[in-house]
Structure 1
Amino acid sequence: MTPEQISNAIVDALRALVERRELTLPDGVPAAVTVERPRQQGHGDYATNVALQLGKKAGANPRELAAKIAAELEGADGIAGVEVAGPGFLNITVDAGALGRIAADIVAAVAAYGTSDALNGERINVEFISANPTGPLHLGHTRWAAVGDALARVLEAAGAEVSREFYINDRGSQMDKFGDSILARATGTEPPEDGYLGEYVHDLAQQVLEANPGILELPEAEQRERFREEGYRIQLANQQAELAEFHTVFDTWFSERDLHGGFEARARGALAPQPPKDDGLAPQPPNDVVETLEKLRGEGHLYDADGALWMRTTDFGDDKDRVLIRSNGELTYFASDTAYYLDKRTRGFDRCIYLLGADHHGYVGRLRAMAACAGDDPDANIEVLIGQLVTILENGEQLKLSKRAGTIVSLRELMDLIGVDALRYTLARYPADSPLTLDAAEMTRQASDNPVFYVQYAHARVSSILRNAADLGLVTGASAPSSTSGFGGSTTESSLVTQLAEFPRVVQAAATLREPHRVARYLEETAASYHRFYDSCRVLPMGDEEATDLHRARLTLVDATRIVLANGLTLLGVSAPERM
């Protein structure tokens, strides 16, 4: 029986007691009760403190209430025994047949096991990298690539429709400096002050020259523009390729330029306190910055002061109002944030999740206030997660400089140094809001105290048993003989089954709490449970021994373990090797 089935059985027991007037619940029978795996072996397969929770409300002694619930559960299908412990805890033991059915159900579900409809119907946009196309992706981007993609995967597993979004910061003076830096390297001169350094700039210069013969013969202004745009195209393609290699593929690469269709040409006439705009101006793309700000002005959320345009975010809890257009007519980043958010909402997303870096704490209040100004519910439509910094050590020293990338440690170098699986798993197994100091040697060490190796090795060990079983003519799944009964009564068998049964709840919690690290920690517990089972229970017949129901039941349990480990690793974007 699964935790949900146990919960349903307890609810049925409570309902029966109420109907016989042996129990009074002023708030009614709960729709579900909390069922957990006990911390100590010997305390059953599942435990609940429901009698302690309801005793006071019911005016009943918790232990006496627990005894009544236990008596009702004794006859329930799939329950082998119920014990009242302490002041009113219930320890529940599931019978072998019910345990076998759990394993068989997992094998039947295969890749679908762990999914749910908890978030069914929700359309969620997850923006988890915002970067300039002026250089390699760095360590901060790498953490968000691992965590953000894992979050998107668990949200999808919980039934949500998810779109992964990368915001390209492709406007502003940094783009001109980027182009000028490439041009300088192409002509053998030094980049401008505050320009871009690193070997990758030399590489870009060579690629631009090879793709554009005669570019250095163009007028200077045209050269600068061509080097900027060609460098942008090449560097963005590099970012996309590296992320794909890192198992992170975005549905949308959103250009900041798309928010600014003709803004500089229209802003003063359209929005500033000057004569009405010229109706003869060419129409702009929908949902651009100007259109967004005009809409908010009409709703009374904007005002003019000191020659600038402001948003009344203090009306919705922000610590101060925010400038949208400076007195010199320049657009602020906050204006872009506003237009970008409304663009997402116009595209039909119910909830917009932002994963931002450690230096963006101040953005939480202002983004929520901005959503409120736009007429949305900040609790329902926008969510901001703040991540902390990561430090990587190599030979005891912090990695912080790169010959290729200049002053950053790039995603490419991290993948080459640590490997995709080890890097993704390690970054995803910690809460995103925790600062991390990680050792490259520890992350790549093939030992049982390295979590990613431990989990992947468990999957490889399981796969080896299944290959050996196939050699003996033993199979699992739809073509296998019945294998839902006949467990040998070992506590490691029941412990492993109940651990596997927790997987759907873990995935759902990871999605609803936005904590994909729960999946990694669960996989480590599952691997440990499997290793204990393997060390104490023989799965395959030996020599000329005939295969029995016990062998088949345990083989089904092994296959169920493989499925759970593989599904969990997939949610983290990590491979499940069959051999190691």
Structure 2
Amino acid sequence: MTPAELSRTVLRSVRGALEARELSLGESDVPVTVDVRVPPRPGCGDYATNVALRLAGPAGLPAREVAGVVGKRLAAAPGIAGVEIAGPGFLNITLGDSAPAAVVREVLEAGAAYGRRAGAAEGGSAIHLNPAPNPRAVVVADALRAIMEAVGEGTGPEEEPGGEEVRPVPVKDAAGRYVTVDGLVARLGVDEMRWVLLYPAAHDHVRVPERPVQREGNPRFLVQYAYARTCAVSRNARDLGFGHAEEPGTGQSHDIPHTPLHAALAAYPAVLEAAARLRAPDRLARHLEATAEACLSFLATCPPLPVGDQKPMAVHRARLAVAQAAGTVLANGLTLLGISAPEHL
């Protein structure tokens, strides 16, 4: 279950309570969407929502009472294993055992198309992106064009009149001079240049490093390194004779619990939608960083390869599937940003 699907499930629970007159709300009081997020601390479920706090005022009830009404309905919904009320009225939601495998299956089946809206290649409405005359604007417009086309928002040529102007804060060097693309590429290389210009929000200033740093403290390197690790895991699995991951949803795949990596994989399509809607490719860059961190943590705590004389088991194939799904998402996101996804680092 993706965050978007869970949001719709929570909203259906709210509407069900309204129709059963368990809550007294006007139609305008019911939100169009419900925010669900991964809790900041472990042990608080897979996702949490503050919908009860939002509805408490209009309903004229304490938030925890609203949470009890909505939570009871939500707990009975397919794909939900449990719902708990926390604090002033937050709902902590635990997904069913099949949810992690379903996310992995969806990613692996879609491959390079994961996150792309069906039929997006034909384009949607024509939106013209006209970058301001500075290197950062050009790079941001280029990444935006790829992201918007992926989610079905067609873009036209830059020279078309009446387009949306892309005007992030331009970049200056330490001496106060405006930088050029050639100068940045010579200093950083193409991948680091694009990441440095895309990672900050458009209204934030860019800090240009002296040189690219090849260690995990550099978010761009972290993302590429995590992708290369997933490729190495697949290669090593093939060498051990089980290069094909177990199909998610079979065998012991259900034994793998929902992890932050599953949440990051499930959230990827919504992140693309938000990046396109808000004209903010930085959202994709930061999500890739979070996915890479979750991926490396997963590989460390749930190793996909047997150790020593241990024979490959179904659990290893299931973990391999998760690793390959993570590699798919990291490669897809890097490609949209115009940054390479090297299999070796």
TM-score after normalising by structure 2: 0.90
Give the equivalent residue in structure 2 for 1:22: 22
Give the equivalent residue in structure 1 for 2:67: 66
Question: How far apart are 1:32 and its partner, in Å?
Answer: 3.0
Contact 2:82 2:93 in 1 (8 A): yes
Give the equivalent residue in structure 1 for 2:285: 520
Contact 1:152 1:164 in 2 (8 A): no
Give the equivalent residue in structure 2 for 1:457: 225
Indicate the structure with greater strand content: 1
Amino acid at match of 2:231: S
Secondary structure of the residue aligned to 1:87 is coil
Amino acid at match of 1:436: V
Give the equivalent residue in structure 2 for 1:312: none
Tell me: CA distance 1:22–1:409, structure 2 relative to 1, closer, same or farther (3 Å): closer
The CA distance in 1 between the partners of 2:187 and 2:176, in whole Å, is 11
Give the equivalent residue in structure 2 for 1:418: 188
The CA distance in 1 between the partners of 2:31 and 2:176, in whole Å, is 54
Output one character per residue of 1:549-569: Cα deviation in whole Å (capped at 9) or x when no partner: 322221111011001111111
Question: How far apart are 1:8 and its partner, in Å?
Answer: 2.0
Contact 1:483 1:552 in 2 (8 A): no
Give the equivalent residue in structure 1 for 2:42: 41
Output one character per residue of 1:459-517: Cα deviation in whole Å (capped at 9) or x when no partner: 1111100111222332457xx54545535456xx5211011111111111111111111
Secondary structure of the residue aligned to 1:438 is coil
Contact 1:483 1:556 in 2 (8 A): no
1:416-495 counterparts in 2 under 5 A? 416-441=186-211, 444-476=212-244, 480-483=246-249, 486-488=253-255, 494-495=259-260
The CA distance in 2 between the partners of 1:164 and 1:465, in whole Å, is 41
Output one character per residue of 1:535-577: Cα deviation in whole Å (capped at 9) or x when no partner: 2112122344343332222111101100111111111110011
Question: How far apart are 1:74 and its partner, in Å?
Answer: 2.0
Moved more, 11-20 or 100-109: 11-20
Matched, 1:354 2:129: no
Where structure 2 has 5 or more consecutive residues not aligned to the other structure, the ranges are none
Tell me: CA distance 1:117–1:127, structure 2 relative to 1, closer, same or farther (3 Å): farther
Tell me: CA distance 1:353–1:56, structure 2 relative to 1, closer, same or farther (3 Å): same
Tell me: CA distance 1:476–1:69, structure 2 relative to 1, closer, same or farther (3 Å): farther
The CA distance in 1 between the partners of 2:200 and 2:146, in whole Å, is 16
Residue 122 (structure 1) aligned to one of 122, 125, 140: 125
Question: How far apart are 1:122 and its partner, in Å?
Answer: 1.4
Contact 1:476 1:559 in 2 (8 A): no
1:220-369 counterparts in 2 under 5 A? 254=159, 341=161, 352-355=163-166
Q: Which has the larger radius of gyration?
A: 1
Contact 2:104 2:248 in 1 (8 A): no
Contact 2:145 2:155 in 1 (8 A): yes
The CA distance in 2 between the partners of 1:549 and 1:97, in whole Å, is 16
Tell me: CA distance 1:481–1:388, structure 2 relative to 1, closer, same or farther (3 Å): closer
Amino acid at match of 2:141: G
The CA distance in 1 between the partners of 2:25 and 2:207, in whole Å, is 51
Give the equivalent residue in structure 1 for 2:7: 7
TM-score after normalising by structure 1: 0.55
Tell me: CA distance 1:107–1:489, structure 2 relative to 1, closer, same or farther (3 Å): closer
1:528-539 counterparts in 2 under 5 A? 528-539=293-304
Contact 2:71 2:83 in 1 (8 A): yes
Contact 2:135 2:179 in 1 (8 A): no
Give the equivalent residue in structure 2 for 1:76: 77
Where structure 1 has 5 or more consecutive residues not aligned to the other structure, the ranges are 131-140, 166-253, 255-339, 345-351, 356-385, 401-407
Question: How far apart are 1:53 and its partner, in Å?
Answer: 0.8
Question: How far apart are 1:411 and its partner, in Å?
Answer: 2.6
Question: How far apart are 1:30 and its partner, in Å?
Answer: 4.2
Identity of aligned residues (%): 40
Tell me: CA distance 1:388–1:481, structure 2 relative to 1, closer, same or farther (3 Å): closer
Paired residues in the alignment total: 341
The CA distance in 2 between the partners of 1:481 and 1:574, in whole Å, is 30
Output one character per residue of 1:426-451: Cα deviation in whole Å (capped at 9) or x when no partner: 1110122222231222xx11111111
Give the equivalent residue in structure 2 for 1:507: 272
Give the equivalent residue in structure 1 for 2:342: 577
Question: How far apart are 1:354 and its partner, in Å?
Answer: 1.4
Output one character per residue of 1:67-102: Cα deviation in whole Å (capped at 9) or x when no partner: 122222223222121110011100001123211111
Give the equivalent residue in structure 2 for 1:391: 172
Aligned-residue CA RMSD in angstroms? 2.4
Give the equivalent residue in structure 2 for 1:558: 323
The CA distance in 2 between the partners of 1:467 and 1:483, in whole Å, is 23
The CA distance in 2 between the partners of 1:409 and 1:68, in whole Å, is 57
1:77-92 counterparts in 2 under 5 A? 77-92=78-93
Amino acid at match of 1:418: L
Amino acid at match of 1:454: L
Contact 1:483 1:549 in 2 (8 A): no
Question: How far apart are 1:105 and its partner, in Å?
Answer: 0.6
